[in-house]
Amino acid sequence: MSHILCICTGNICRSPMAEVLLQRRLEQEGLTDWQVTSAGTWAVDGHPASRHTVRVMADQGLDLTPHRSRAVTRHIIQEVDLVLAMTHNHVEALRLEFPDQAANIYLLSEMKDGRRYDIDDPYGGSLADYQACASEVTELIDTGVGRIMSLARHARE
């Protein structure tokens, strides 16, 4: 079993989306024993996912109502095989704070074709902004799932 951690800033928009979308995709690949979780670099523990995040995921049949934000900690990051972050700043901050885990920290965007770019934060935006973010995250996961699985397996070994 591998464990993948999705990271954004507040752990109420992008990373919870990525968590449930990636978990579903891995299950579609037959990896029902893999675990996907999320956290934030500047998260306040205990906040629910934003209402637009919950709605956009509900429209895809995914329930984020139980989600509660949490800040990334050494304990959390040491328990995972692969970290997928939303921005260059997240990657840089995590690699500086947890240098022993640096080799397993990547941008989600680079899973698709190796191109590295930030995924915009929809926080405070319109429902359409959240839908666009969810579409982008879904595409990155769907096209990058092979690389995600390979990196997680390699880190596990």
- pLDDT tens profile 68-78: 999 999 999 99
Q: Residue 61 contacts by C-beta under 8 Å, 6 or more apart in sequence?
A: none
Tokens 């990155």 belong to: 140
DSSP output for 96-154: HH-GGGGGGEEETTHHHHS---PPPP-TTS-HHHHHHHHHHHHHHHHHHHHHHHHHHHH
Q: What is the pLDDT of residue 33?
A: 96
| CA nearest to 35, candidates 27, 46, 45, 43 | 27
Closest CA to 82 of 106, 98, 100: 106
In the predicted model, residues of the chain with pLDDT beneath 50 are: none
- What pLDDT is attached to residue 157? 77
Residue 54: enclosing H or E segment and its boundaries? helix 51-58
> Which residues are annotated as catalytic?
8, 14, 121
Q: Where are the domains of the chain?
A: 3-156
Q: Can you name the CATH fold of 3-156?
A: Rossmann fold (3.40.50)
Give the pLDDT of residue 156: 81
Tell me the C-alpha distance between 64 and 98, whole Å: 28
The pTM of the full predicted model, rounded to 2 decimals, is: 0.97
Task: Check residue 151 and give its pLDDT.
Answer: 97
